[in-house]
Amino acid sequence: MGISRADLTAEFFLHEEHRIRWAAHRDAVERRGWTVRAVRRTGAVEEVFCAVVDGTHAFTLADNILTGNCHHNYVAEESYDGMDLLVTRKGAIRAGEGELGIIPGSMGTASYIVRGLGSTASFRSASHGAGRRMSRAAAKRRFTEADLAEQTRGVECRKDAGVVDEIPAAYKPIEQVIDRQRDLVEVVARLRQVVCVKG
């Protein structure tokens, strides 16, 4: 995967020094046709944006925001009003009081790091993402690769027909989805989409 200078805008860069370096080398020759065939150790040290904490699957973002893996399809034994229940979170995350979670938008829109408010009305749960506004089949009928390229402009990601069913317009507006669950979570950080890797 490569990030091409020509595809980037100044807003892409989180660090001022990186923005300045990019601006100074804008006219550098692009090597779009190149293919990575091998990766070797060079001893070079680069600045990174997050660090994994051993054993916990947690990592920190800029400003020391601690976050981590966030499951959204599982069953857990939990107690409510003295009753021991099996809570199934299928397309939902746990939002216990003070617990951190991730609520993503789509390939082209923002993601949110949130902190649960522990609402028992939702069995301490919140949404696991913006959620679909149309099926994968409907998205494929309605949108083209060109629409996908347009809606993911500035994001380094696949833009081919194979992922048109995940086009941003196939999902609900993440800002609205977050707004409508203010009683379940508080926003810790809004993350701007830069790279999206499909597994």
Known catalytic residues are 128
The torsion angles phi and psi of 43, rounded to 5 degrees, stand at: 85, -5
Contact status: 166 vs ligand LQESDW3C (CB under 6 A): yes
Q: Which is nearer to ligand LQESDW3C, 31 or 71 (CB)?
A: 71
* Residue 91 in tokens: 């397309």
Contact status: 105 vs ligand LQESDW3C (CB under 6 A): yes
Q: Which of 89, 94, 124, 128 binds ligand LQESDW3C (CB under 6 A)?
A: 128
Contact status: 101 vs ligand LQESDW3C (CB under 6 A): no
Q: Which is nearer to ligand LQESDW3C, 92 or 117 (CB)?
A: 92
Contact status: 67 vs ligand LQESDW3C (CB under 6 A): no
Least spacing, CB of residue 112 vs ligand LQESDW3C, in Å: 10
Contact status: 129 vs ligand LQESDW3C (CB under 6 A): yes
Query: Candidates 1-9, 28-36, 102-110, 115-123 — which segment interacts with ligand LQESDW3C by CB under 6 A?
Result: 102-110
User: Helix H segments across the chain?
Assistant: 16-24, 136-142, 145-151, 174-179
Residue showing the smallest CB distance to ligand LQESDW3C in the complex: 129
Least spacing, CB of residue 45 vs ligand LQESDW3C, in Å: 29
Q: Which amino acid is at 27?
A: D
Q: Give me the residue label for tokens 């944006």.
A: 49
Q: Which of 115, 131, 190, 194 binds ligand LQESDW3C (CB under 6 A)?
A: 131
Task: Please count the residues of the chain.
Answer: 199
Contact status: 107 vs ligand LQESDW3C (CB under 6 A): yes
Q: Which residues bind ligand LQESDW3C (CB under 6 A)?
A: 104-107, 111, 128-132, 166, 171, 196
